[in-house]
Structure 1
């Protein structure tokens, strides 16, 4: 190696100094490069003026480090000190301290831990490795462990329980007030140099600073600095500090509520708010893709039970105790073992008798507890409640309404447990007993007369040629009994599996037993339960006073019958009607399709979005003529419920017909006509004309019949019916008369005739315009203005008089007029479209009016918004539209009615399939499937959305989320749909047997779920498992038509005989 090469060689710095030696004096070869760097630096000097101070400071720091280093090298070495003191100083560091004095408090307190006062430093009592979730608290001489409540400890955001490792360093607090400092000049520049070099300089400075801790210390420089800052922060209150780690509204609310219940333990509202707040905390720990696990939900239920028990001990007022007790028992059923829960219920037996909600919670527990469920026991529990309610009914509506609800739950239990003919017979008898009684002026209207009527076996309500109890009494019982009915034989099945054959014949017998049989009918000798005697149903019967039958109790009775039949209710005028419609034990809402759409590479996402919504799904919506009588381009009120009715469709139609024609139930006429139209569209003319003959002054029936003809594409007939009704003075007044004009205007708009649509709407207040309609003349702005003023006046008059239903009709007309005539549209439009922004402004203004009057949650308001949604959809299908605008309007509607299926379906239709994020799924998670709005119909919608838009895994997750929620976990229809869905997909089939047992555990009263073992799962079930399921059905008291042992023996014997031949 040459000397020149040796001179330019880099020198490796020594570890003790971390500094390189002074570089050698540059040679001639280096001079050129140095001059080149100098010239480059001079060219860029004008761009570095902002950083001169920064560079000068770096230079000063380097000079100081070099001078200190030279001083240490120049200092002479010191002689080691002699003696123990030198040894102590040598072995002691700032990280270790030797105690030379001892603990003088030992002599004061001794070894008795009970006498030692509690003293904690930061983190005292915590168990290592649990990040503060597990703490030790002492009660007397014993150590006990307890889990810290979420929000009270460091592990508030932990999601892994005791195994949590989410330790987080404390963040530097944000100071709202600046501190005076000698280094303020450093705050006037922004360093843009290499962060790597800057960090290296800082490490060099720390390693060479004699006053700081050694880099080898376990304390570390950063920790010491943090401790000093913490001491400084806590020493005074001059600096306002915002702690980012704990600046959380949920945590703040937890602290406030805990403080409130601690300071005021008798504040039950605060206790209940604290319990509800746990749901928010639980939801904060999950995401849309990672929901709360079962273990986490169980932990939160334990926390809520503990809080509710504390609240119960502080509840003094009886009403407060009832509220807390209902919530406590419902939460406790989630975590208590069945024996403990049964013991808890027995302890509050007296309180259950006087509290309907508490009794309903007890009933839900008795039905869903597989270890103790017995059909006869639960049935007797229902009968006892019914007798107790009727004994104190009197003239109070709430007691009669409660009795009707109990009757509905009783018949639903009978039907689901296999006693279908008994449940139907009970409804036949109750409706006959109330709506077809002779009245107080006729003798013998009591139970004795009804007993004679039932035992005579004449045609009953819902059967062909039925005349009713009233007619039977008027004729003195001289009514001929019908001819015996012949039993339809069950078709044979080709199978070698005896259990599968038994299931086939059992289901066939059950299908033919939907109605009660008579003594002389075929098949009753082998199955005597098919004949329902009066003694079987007499304990269930009661007679509602006639004055109440014309009011809300009568409406609830009809709604309860419709819900029992699997149909949407008509009136929904009472809270119990809403409860029954959404109750998982009584509602029949279920998933209609389990076939997941198979996406291909050729699928056009735009075509998927443009595909019309599913108009046939089960609806949760307000009843309106536009939903009862509609074509294939809009939602139908009955949806898919007609495809799987639990009772015969002919029976329902006959009951409605007899109630409308014989019992004078005119309020039921529109519903009956809508049901006839939905079941047999081409034959709607016959029942419509019979109704018009029965009620000739009912304008709503004329409007309904016209809409039915329009839906059947009989446009001329529908227009003729409406025009003829408009010419009748008794039919063309008020809101019903205006409804005729609005319906014809709407049909003209759908046909593309905007001018005729405007004319028909304005002719409601100017009869002379009908001639202009015939001449196809235009309407002047003055006439349009007059029409608008008249409509607005009628709206305010109806709202002032409390007629919200009539006001909704006029608001629909105002919305339609704004769409057809207003200018200044700010949304994209074409010649076939109107002013959608003006129409939505009219809807928004009227919604504000409803809200100001306290009618925001009424069915009239919901109906008005449904018309706005229909107008939005019509406008979007006729030309350009902004998807964002459509979703914004639907979001406003959902703010008022988050359970409305129409709004949800249209929001799904407007969802862009081009985005990675599923907007509908996000909407459901954020606004719909939350505790205060969660319901069965929304869960069904969520599942159907994943089936149509997602895949098998997302649909499975939707099923799981629904069946783990409080509103769906005991719904038999969802469990059966989930079983069939899982079995239909090969990747989910291995766990379908476990799923079956889960459903059986939650719904032990359901015969349909148990029969799935013999139908859907027959290939995966072993013989002993099938036998076990059969024994469970017989052991629980469910209704079976065929004895399995006898059938299997006879079937095998017959099969051996056929094989021998």
Structure 2
């Protein structure tokens, strides 16, 4: 049978009678193998490890084959250097070499760092000694390797067989007692680099507790194997106590609960308590580009806040009338409630607190905050969301809210008369800006025209100030008389031929209509044609129309002609001179000019108010200046120098610090007439690009008619700056025309000289200064110098300093102190070096002089020219510290110091960078939204190739929880956007580059900010 099947006799297989295979030998082998395994297992359990193990021939052959090519010892030599060098076990020398007992593993296991455990794909190049035995354990227990050993740690099994669960025990990792340690930041960042180690603050070690139990001890003593181990105690003794953020919030929550239980009427504590849980929500959870109000976490956080604030309102009867608690409650509800429900809540709170304001003193003064919050809601997220009473909402409804608030203030809400008038002007400006941006430009401009005419150009018989009890009747008669003037359609303020209400004769014809060329469409698409028509109308027909206008383009616009009934709700009387001046500058802001009243710092609430910062929205060129210019040549990724390839030199991302489109700083005559480029350049308040979209004719008429009525010469100088931005040549003509009528005004002479210097005519400007000072000296005689004359001297000295003529500048400073000033009366003035005695007398003179802006400039220049930049820095810092923080005097001193340091760095490149950095960081701490200081800081750091501080500054400007976050406002975000674009100019225009994404992140933070 074996031959028939091709098998030899040794290959015969026993077959059963039925033709199937006989499996009895295999069954006997399996039973024998199981018996041996049971005996071996029982021997292991009994601990009989000395019994000789029985090995089958198959096992012996396998072990011999494994040990055939083993080396005597592994010295760490790479495998590719030992190919063919293996030798038989029997042929190796069995002598013991102590130097080879240990070796250095040069390969190692890289995955253990990446994954935290070993992996079977990168096993070490050595073998365990003792055939996988475990020291201290039974000899029969061996270490095994399974597929899951990286998750289960070391696995043990009898004789190294596959993993058996009953023979394994979970052993806690040796590092399971280690906790994450959060070290509190140290205020002392000084580090001694000479020491060989960094020492931690340590505490005295605890006294060791006795091993024997103390039966008198009341407190529980932890056993050595309980709680935290010894290593933890060593770490705690080394670094002291620590706490996580959650523990800090939990502790503060307990303290606040205890405090509020004792003092339930503490409103600030309730508001702080309602925001504690927000400290545990990281900002990283918000995805850029997604509205945070749509996130589930926002809804959950708002519900927790509402629950706490609801408890606060019901805690005491007084809390129910707390304006701050109601504001916090409604602003949290705005995130999750429907719009109509929020609007209804606003109206209910305004009605109830308004009725209670008569009975509760002090409540009426805080109602303005409540009204401003309601207005912000109606023109923001609540726009178009009525209260469910059938009104759909929109522009008209928001205007009605403004009118209602103005009427309440006009009727006496707000307490103090001066504060009430300031609030009225602020609300009026916001209402007009809202109407202008909503498309009702004619009504907005007409409202300003009417209020300016009533305030400054009333007829003589209506100019008296009535008794407080008769003001309502008196103002009613004023508006009734003014209605006749308005309906006559005579020229009004800002229009050609306007002379003011009281100076306009009866039957004065209305201004003639200006012929305009017909519109030539650039597109055939009807929607694009509609857009072209609207843009043209927005530009050409922004002034209020007349009934005599017969322009075909205005036939379909029913809002172009503004009747008096559209204006009367916005009118109110103003009696305070300070508020009248604020109204004038509010009109300039409405027209698109960035001028502020004198003495207003950059940190004022008006400069940080996003509702008043609208100039960029109407100026496309200014918006485009935020982005870096597109590169005209292809970027080189590498270059060769002396045959060696290397990275190319990166050009500076900013050529000068004066190109920032966001302008917010302390306005002085230095910034009003500054040069934009060249030597002596500085930050300029108004440039030609800033006048895009501004009706220049209206602006000129306003300066012409209001100039004689404003006592501050700075208003006239602002008119000079407008003309200089449009045409420097025309500005010179306008200045000469005004000076011909007012030749004794020294500040106007200073403005004229600055115009000449702005054009680059320094010699002409010097002649103007000498002529004006000669006339002033002749007029005053032997009397003391006036403040205006000192301003003239200061302007001359500043010009010489900016031109880089230190010798002439020092001579002018000395002559301003009255020493040798007769030399300017000579035919030809020549500068000379002052003597030491003259310098001493000059110091004494400025020390006695009253602290004014001109005296500060002259004394600072004297200190700089004589003592150096370090002494000047210390002196101006001391002067700024003497004034209140965030005051205009403090900001002017710091801004002057930054100007002197910038000039010094330009002339002396060896000036240490840390000197200007320290000054600017201190100045930015007090005025964080001064864009001049911000730009100087950024320019200095980028010029020194230090990018980390710039990124840190940008992060602080956009951080929601940064210090003085409310003072930065929208200005800080706008500057951060520009700074990000400038810093990322290399990749800003690249497809997929990171520069545009950084700018997009800054914009996202600004849009979703709560400031």
Query: TM-score range with shorter-chain normalisation?
Result: 0.5 to 0.7
CA contact (8 A) 2:485 2:501 kept: yes
Which of 443, 454, 458 is matched with 1:422 structurally? 443
CA contact (8 A) 2:495 2:511 kept: no
Separation in 2, partners of 1:529, 1:371 = 21
Q: How does 1:425-440 map to 2 (within 5 A)?
A: 425-440=446-461
Q: How many residues align?
A: 766
Matched, 1:783 2:838: yes
Which of 887, 904, 912 is matched with 1:882 structurally? 912
CA contact (8 A) 1:175 1:242 kept: no
Q: Give the corresponding residue for 2:734.
A: 687
How far residue 177 of structure 1 moved from its aligned partner, in angstroms, is 4.1
How far residue 93 of structure 1 moved from its aligned partner, in angstroms, is 12
Separation in 2, partners of 1:500, 1:358 = 43
How far residue 866 of structure 1 moved from its aligned partner, in angstroms, is 1.4
Matched, 1:455 2:487: yes
Separation in 1, partners of 2:320, 2:878 = 40
Q: Give the corresponding residue for 2:873.
A: 840
How far residue 499 of structure 1 moved from its aligned partner, in angstroms, is 1.0
Matched, 1:702 2:749: yes
Matched, 1:756 2:777: no
Matched, 1:492 2:521: yes
Q: Give the corresponding residue for 1:366.
A: 378
Residues 227, 640 of structure 1: alpha-carbon distance in 2 compared, 3 angstrom cutoff: farther
How far residue 897 of structure 1 moved from its aligned partner, in angstroms, is 0.5
Bigger mean CA offset, 586-595 vs 861-870: 586-595
Q: Deviations over 1:183-223 (max 9, x none)?
A: 99xxxxxxxxxxxxxxxxxxxxxxxxxxxxxxxxxxxxxx9
Separation in 1, partners of 2:931, 2:602 = 21
Bigger mean CA offset, 336-345 vs 502-511: 336-345
Q: Give the corresponding residue for 2:399.
A: 379
CA contact (8 A) 1:569 1:581 kept: no
How far residue 898 of structure 1 moved from its aligned partner, in angstroms, is 0.5
Which of 636, 656, 662 is matched with 1:618 structurally? 662
How far residue 648 of structure 1 moved from its aligned partner, in angstroms, is 0.8
Separation in 2, partners of 1:811, 1:287 = 49
Separation in 1, partners of 2:903, 2:445 = 42
Matched, 1:566 2:592: yes
Q: Give the corresponding residue for 1:768.
A: 820
How far residue 339 of structure 1 moved from its aligned partner, in angstroms, is 2.9
Q: Give the corresponding residue for 2:563.
A: 533
SS of the residue corresponding to residue 543 of structure 1 reads coil
Residues 70, 382 of structure 1: alpha-carbon distance in 2 compared, 3 angstrom cutoff: closer
User: Greater share of helix residues, 1 or 2?
Assistant: 1
Q: Deviations over 1:524-553 (max 9, x none)?
A: 4443422222222122222212xx1x12x2
SS of the residue corresponding to residue 933 of structure 1 reads helix
Q: Deviations over 1:636-660 (max 9, x none)?
A: 5534685355541221221122111
CA contact (8 A) 1:271 1:308 kept: yes
Q: How does 1:542-621 map to 2 (within 5 A)?
A: 542-545=572-575, 548=576, 550-551=577-578, 553-571=579-597, 578-590=604-616, 591-593=623-625, 595-598=627-630, 601-602=635-636, 607-608=651-652, 611-615=655-659, 617-621=661-665
CA contact (8 A) 2:686 2:721 kept: no
Separation in 1, partners of 2:527, 2:419 = 48
CA contact (8 A) 1:660 1:668 kept: yes
SS of the residue corresponding to residue 608 of structure 1 reads coil
Separation in 2, partners of 1:274, 1:767 = 65
Separation in 1, partners of 2:134, 2:421 = 97
Matched, 1:390 2:400: no
Q: Give the corresponding residue for 1:911.
A: 941
**TM-score normalised by the chain length of structure 1:** 0.64
Q: Deviations over 1:314-346 (max 9, x none)?
A: 354479711221232223223322133123223
Separation in 1, partners of 2:288, 2:943 = 18
CA contact (8 A) 2:673 2:721 kept: yes
How far residue 304 of structure 1 moved from its aligned partner, in angstroms, is 3.7
Q: Deviations over 1:782-803 (max 9, x none)?
A: 3223222322322xx44xxxxx
Residues 635, 459 of structure 1: alpha-carbon distance in 2 compared, 3 angstrom cutoff: farther
CA contact (8 A) 1:461 1:658 kept: yes
Residues 614, 573 of structure 1: alpha-carbon distance in 2 compared, 3 angstrom cutoff: closer
Q: Deviations over 1:287-333 (max 9, x none)?
A: 99999966355554444444333333335447971122123222322
Unaligned runs of 5+ in 2: 1-60, 74-89, 104-129, 142-165, 171-179, 184-199, 212-221, 355-363, 386-392, 465-473, 617-622, 638-647, 985-994
Q: Give the corresponding residue for 1:169.
A: none
How far residue 719 of structure 1 moved from its aligned partner, in angstroms, is 1.1
CA contact (8 A) 1:669 1:691 kept: no
CA contact (8 A) 1:305 1:328 kept: yes
How far residue 902 of structure 1 moved from its aligned partner, in angstroms, is 0.2
Q: Deviations over 1:1008-1046 (max 9, x none)?
A: xxxxxxxxxxxxxxxxxxxxxxxxxxxxxxxxxxxxxxx
Q: Give the corresponding residue for 2:950.
A: 920
Matched, 1:819 2:864: yes
Q: How does 1:116-131 map to 2 (within 5 A)?
A: none
Residues 944, 362 of structure 1: alpha-carbon distance in 2 compared, 3 angstrom cutoff: same
Residues 713, 845 of structure 1: alpha-carbon distance in 2 compared, 3 angstrom cutoff: same
Q: Which has the higher contact order (CA 8 A, sep 6+)?
A: 1
Q: Deviations over 1:1-48 (max 9, x none)?
A: 99xx99x9999xxxxxxxxxxxxxx999555745x789x9xxxxxxxx
Q: Give the corresponding residue for 1:516.
A: 544
Residues 587, 501 of structure 1: alpha-carbon distance in 2 compared, 3 angstrom cutoff: same
CA contact (8 A) 2:181 2:242 kept: no
Q: Give the corresponding residue for 2:159.
A: none
Greater Cα radius of gyration, structure 1 or 2: 2
Which of 837, 848, 857 is matched with 2:886 structurally? 857
Q: Deviations over 1:503-531 (max 9, x none)?
A: 11122122211111222223244434222
SS of the residue corresponding to residue 821 of structure 1 reads helix
Which of 978, 983, 987 is matched with 1:944 structurally? 978
Q: How does 1:330-345 map to 2 (within 5 A)?
A: 330-345=331-346
Separation in 2, partners of 1:272, 1:484 = 58
Q: How does 1:198-237 map to 2 (within 5 A)?
A: 227-229=226-228
**TM-score normalised by the chain length of structure 2:** 0.67
Separation in 1, partners of 2:942, 2:259 = 46
Separation in 2, partners of 1:577, 1:897 = 6
Q: Give the corresponding residue for 2:368.
A: 356
CA contact (8 A) 2:864 2:871 kept: yes
Q: Give the corresponding residue for 1:314.
A: 315
How far residue 721 of structure 1 moved from its aligned partner, in angstroms, is 1.9
Separation in 1, partners of 2:862, 2:273 = 49
RMSD over aligned Cα atoms = 4.6
CA contact (8 A) 2:493 2:500 kept: yes
How far residue 846 of structure 1 moved from its aligned partner, in angstroms, is 0.8
Separation in 1, partners of 2:511, 2:595 = 32
How far residue 628 of structure 1 moved from its aligned partner, in angstroms, is 0.5
Separation in 2, partners of 1:672, 1:407 = 24
Separation in 1, partners of 2:336, 2:966 = 22
Residues 71, 779 of structure 1: alpha-carbon distance in 2 compared, 3 angstrom cutoff: same
Q: How does 1:586-735 map to 2 (within 5 A)?
A: 586-590=612-616, 591-593=623-625, 595-598=627-630, 601-602=635-636, 607-608=651-652, 611-615=655-659, 617-633=661-677, 634-639=681-686, 643=690, 647-661=694-708, 666=713, 668-727=715-774, 728-729=776-777, 733-735=785-787
Q: Give the corresponding residue for 2:619.
A: none
How far residue 947 of structure 1 moved from its aligned partner, in angstroms, is 2.2
Q: Give the corresponding residue for 1:409.
A: 430
CA contact (8 A) 1:422 1:516 kept: yes
How far residue 710 of structure 1 moved from its aligned partner, in angstroms, is 0.6
Q: Give the corresponding residue for 2:990.
A: none
CA contact (8 A) 1:301 1:332 kept: yes
Q: Give the corresponding residue for 1:141.
A: none
